[in-house]
Chains A and B, each alone.
Chain A
Amino acid sequence: MAVTHLDLAADRQAARSRLSRPDIALYFLWGMFWLLMLAVGVQDYLRNGGTRLWQPILWEGTSLAVATLWVILQRRVDRRYAVYLDRPWVWIGHHAKWMPLIVLTFVPTVFGIRHGVYALLGERYLHEPWSEVLFYESIKLILFYGLWMGLIFGFDTFAQAQEQRQRLLALQKSLAEAQLAHLKAQLRPHFFFNALNTISALMQVDVPRADRLLSRLADLLRATLQWGDKELMSLRDEMHMLELFAQIMQERFADRVTLSWNVDNAALGGAIPAMLLQPLLENAFKHGVERSRDAVRIEVEARRDGERLYIAIRNSGPLLGPERQDGVGLRNCRERLNVLYGDAAQMQLKQLPDAVEASVTLPWQEHRA
């Protein structure tokens, strides 16, 4: 999943550094629009008997230059308003607030340049009185600005929808991967293949025992498939699965482990996140039995404390390294509790004088099938 996040970030980075496809289309349209304006301007000038072609080109050219400058500035600011694209009026409001500034600067700048160019050529730029120019040009500008704002809104909305679609696809992909990883973790290939090997070893010497182990393994596989996608299950079912798991592990390590169960009947009806405890028991075996040369004692305890359900799994031996405290099993367990109960549930790993204890406390809730 982490990789996918990075990919997304990289994509966004790339999108920022180069022109996106809608941007290119927008500038293309902008160019076409101004070619049209220029053509109309020149046509109009010639029809009115004008002979000095540079004049209409200068007029349209100055407007084009200043307007383009504004569009480029605007495009930089637009990104900041992208979050408002799904609320058009807010978006328009944010753009419209720039209008007075544009109107106030556009006409003086454009006409200033024109006057400057005429003066350089030793001529005088003649036009309608300033009041009329200001009024007429401002109306034109406002219409023009409105048209382009609408177009930009359309383009940006489209671009945003595209980006969201991409992100959604990536998200779906990473979600599917996470589900697969979850399934794989539940099936615990290491455990299953080792158990199969134990059966393969036992059937050479003790067929009934091998047969028993095989059906335990089948029961566990069945239960995993049955409960694997459930949110909650009863403590009774959870304990049943733990027993199956423990029986198989005991077959493998009969010479090195003793198990004791201390489960209060009153607690069995409680609801618990499905297969929450298996990783904890697996850890007890993994760190207690598979890592130690001595005989190990494992203890499972469950009871109801008023409005709380308390479960503890202990194994004799020292607390091993940080890898146990931050292992995948424990982390998943914590995350699930956090998602389901928030602060109302706790999971703890602690060192007792002669054992390691993993305990879970969660709000009591009667399980309904």
Chain B
Amino acid sequence: MMRVLVADDEAPARGKLQRWLSEQADIEVVAESQDGLGAAEAIERLKPDVVFLDIQMPGLSGLEVAAQLEQETAPLIVFVTAFDEHAIKAFELNAIDYLLKPYDKDRLLKTLSRIRARPADGSTRAAVATARAQTQSHDRLLVPVGETLQLIDSATVEWLEASDNYVHVHTSTRSYLLRRTLHDLLEQLGDQQFARIHKSAAVNIAAVKAFTPLFKGDYEVQLRNGKVLRLSRRFKDQLFARMGR
């Protein structure tokens, strides 16, 4: 059984997709969302296999939702759009599934059979990566707050701490726990702003105050908030080169 989420801000558009998808024996529509944030929350909560994401939605666009997903664990994504020349060009280039409004049943069925035939390969990764490239996904981070999700400005993040498949996102005021790998998070945030300091931690370069050498080539990183972290020699050269030392 394929579990599907439909996200579109227009009720008639959701209805059309819902109706046609429900006719398929192997598909179950698990939820409908009418905006980007709702879609992101539903993906987090219900873990659907496939998401039909309309691009133009209130709050968070479909591309922005996709950009915030973890590449490894994201559902298969089918973008739906009326007219987005740039995005469509990118989808074509990266062989990403999309539907152009208005679409007929044949076109939808074709997309469905493509999805069924798809092994869990790199297509989801490509969809997330493309969405990240199309949006300013390194500026904003979607974090869980209680039962809901909230966007925070990534500049407010001071450092990131990984533990297993989770990352603690530390800002000056509080910490958030994300179920993502540090690697994936850093890929989204980009290496302009953040740098890894050892296997399971990364810092916002703007939050660094000083370095103190330890023995054996390791260093101590002192943050502006007083926090002291360890910089392993494996990441030292990269970081110093970036900071112009």
**Chain A: residues with CB nearer than 8 A to chain B?**
189-190, 192-194, 196-202, 204-205, 251-255, 289-293
Give the CA-CA distance A198 to B16 in the complex, in Å. 9
Flag if A291 contacts B102 (CB, 8 Å).
no
Other-chain residue from B16, B58, B59 in contact with A201 (beta carbon distance below 8 A): B16
CB neighbours (8 Å) of B10 from chain A are: 194, 197-198, 201, 252-253
Q: Min CB distance, B27 to chain A, in Å?
A: 17
Q: Min CB distance, A188 to chain B, in Å?
A: 9
Docked complex: B27-63 residues within 8 A CB-CB of A = 34-35, 37-38, 56-59
Q: Does B161 contact A (CB under 8 A)?
A: no
Using CB atoms, name the residue of chain A closest to B60.
Answer: A291
Flag if B19 contacts A190 (CB, 8 Å).
no
A254/B58 contact (C-beta < 8 A), A193-B101, A200-B16, A200-B102 known: no
The 4 A-B pairs of least Cβ separation, nearest first, read A201-B16, A197-B101, A193-B82, A201-B12
Flag if A290 contacts B12 (CB, 8 Å).
no
Q: Min CB distance, B210 to chain A, in Å?
A: 36
Q: Does B120 contact A (CB under 8 A)?
A: no
Flag if A190 contacts B102 (CB, 8 Å).
no
Flag if B58 contacts A291 (CB, 8 Å).
yes
Q: Does B15 contact A (CB under 8 A)?
A: yes
Using CB atoms, name the residue of chain A closest to B18.
Answer: A201
**Chain B: residues with CB nearer than 8 A to chain A?**
9-13, 15-16, 19, 34-35, 37-38, 56-59, 82-84, 100-104
Flag if B102 contacts A196 (CB, 8 Å).
yes
Flag if A204 contacts B101 (CB, 8 Å).
no
Give the CA-CA distance A291 to B56 in the complex, in Å. 9
Flag if B11 contacts A255 (CB, 8 Å).
yes
Using CB atoms, name the residue of chain B closest to A198.
Answer: B12
Other-chain residue from B11, B83, B100, B101 in contact with A254 (beta carbon distance below 8 A): B11
Q: Which of A189, A252, A255, A290 has the most CB of B within 10 A?
A: A290
Flag if B101 contacts A202 (CB, 8 Å).
no
CB neighbours (8 Å) of A189 from chain B are: 82-83
Other-chain residue from A205, A251, A255, A290 in contact with B58 (beta carbon distance below 8 A): A290
Give the CA-CA distance A190 to B59 in the complex, in Å. 18
Using CB atoms, name the residue of chain A closest to B35.
Answer: A293
Flag if A204 contacts B19 (CB, 8 Å).
yes
Q: Min CB distance, B198 to chain A, in Å?
A: 38
A252/B82 contact (C-beta < 8 A), A290-B58, A293-B35 known: no
**A189-B82, A201-B15 given. 19 additional CB < 8 A pairs?**
A192-B82, A193-B82, A193-B83, A194-B10, A194-B56, A194-B101, A197-B101, A197-B102, A200-B101, A252-B12, A253-B9, A255-B11, A290-B9, A291-B58, A293-B34, A293-B37, A293-B38, A293-B58, A293-B59
Give the CA-CA distance A96 to B82 in the complex, in Å. 68
CB neighbours (8 Å) of B104 from chain A are: 200
A-B contact pairs, 9 of them (CB 8 A): A190-B84, A192-B82, A193-B102, A198-B12, A198-B13, A205-B15, A251-B12, A253-B11, A290-B58
Q: Which of B9, B12, B102, B103 has the most CB of A within 10 A?
A: B12
CB neighbours (8 Å) of B59 from chain A are: 291-293
Flag if A201 contacts B83 (CB, 8 Å).
no
Using CB atoms, name the residue of chain B closest to A291.
Answer: B58
Q: Min CB distance, B135 to chain A, in Å?
A: 14
CB neighbours (8 Å) of A194 from chain B are: 10, 13, 56, 82, 101
CB neighbours (8 Å) of A251 from chain B are: 12
Q: Min CB distance, B42 to chain A, in Å?
A: 14
Give the CA-CA distance A253 to B34 in the complex, in Å. 11
Q: Which of A193, A201, A251, A293 has the most CB of B within 10 A?
A: A201
Flag if A204 contacts B16 (CB, 8 Å).
yes
Give the CA-CA distance A189 to B35 in the complex, in Å. 21
Using CB atoms, name the residue of chain A closest to B15.
Answer: A201
Q: Min CB distance, A293 to chain B, in Å?
A: 5
Q: Min CB distance, B218 to chain A, in Å?
A: 44
A290/B57 contact (C-beta < 8 A), A194-B10, A205-B15 known: yes
Using CB atoms, name the residue of chain B closest to A294.
Answer: B58
Give the CA-CA distance A204 to B17 in the complex, in Å. 11
CB neighbours (8 Å) of A193 from chain B are: 82-83, 100-102
CB neighbours (8 Å) of B34 from chain A are: 293
Q: Which of B19, B57, B59, B102 has the most CB of A within 10 A?
A: B102
CB neighbours (8 Å) of A293 from chain B are: 34-35, 37-38, 58-59
Give the CA-CA distance A34 to B102 in the complex, in Å. 76
CB neighbours (8 Å) of A292 from chain B are: 58-59
Q: Min CB distance, A323 to chain B, in Å?
A: 12
Other-chain residue from A190, A204, A289 in contact with B83 (beta carbon distance below 8 A): A190
Q: Min CB distance, B110 to chain A, in Å?
A: 16
Q: Min CB distance, A190 to chain B, in Å?
A: 5
CB neighbours (8 Å) of B103 from chain A are: 197, 200
Give the CA-CA distance A199 to B104 in the complex, in Å. 12
CB neighbours (8 Å) of A205 from chain B are: 15, 19
CB neighbours (8 Å) of B11 from chain A are: 253-255
Other-chain residue from A190, A202, A254, A291 in contact with B82 (beta carbon distance below 8 A): A190
Q: Min CB distance, A56 to chain B, in Å?
A: 71
Using CB atoms, name the residue of chain B closest to A213.
Answer: B12
Q: Min CB distance, B172 to chain A, in Å?
A: 24
Flag if B19 contacts A196 (CB, 8 Å).
no
CB neighbours (8 Å) of B9 from chain A are: 253, 290
Q: Min CB distance, B85 to chain A, in Å?
A: 9
